[in-house]
Amino acid sequence: MNLKGHLFEQIYKCQKKIFEEDFNGAITNARTLIESIFIEIIERHDNKEVKNDGNVENQWKLVKKIMKLEIDNTTLPDYVIQILSGIDTAIKGLAGLSNNAADRHANKFSTKKHHAKLAVNLAMTISDFLLDSWNYQQLKK
| 59-71 pLDDT tens trace | 999 999 999 888 8
pTM metric for this prediction? 0.87
Please check whether residue 39 is in contact with residue 59, taking contact to mean a CB–CB distance below 8 angstroms: yes
Average pLDDT, rounded, for the chain: 88
Tell me the torsion sign for CA atoms 93, 58, 29, 129: positive
Q: Is the pLDDT of residue 107 over 50?
A: yes
> Which has the higher per-residue pLDDT, 86 or 70?
86
pLDDT, mean of residues 87-101: 90
Least confident span in 23-32, 53-62, 63-72, 102-111: 102-111
What domains sit in the chain, N to C, each tagged with a CATH number? 3-140 (1.20.120)
CB neighbour list of residue 81: distance below 8 Å, 6 or more residues apart: 71, 73
pLDDT, mean of residues 74-78: 80
Q: Is the pLDDT of residue 76 over 50?
A: yes
Confidence of residue 104 (pLDDT cuts 50, 70, 90): low
DSSP 103: T
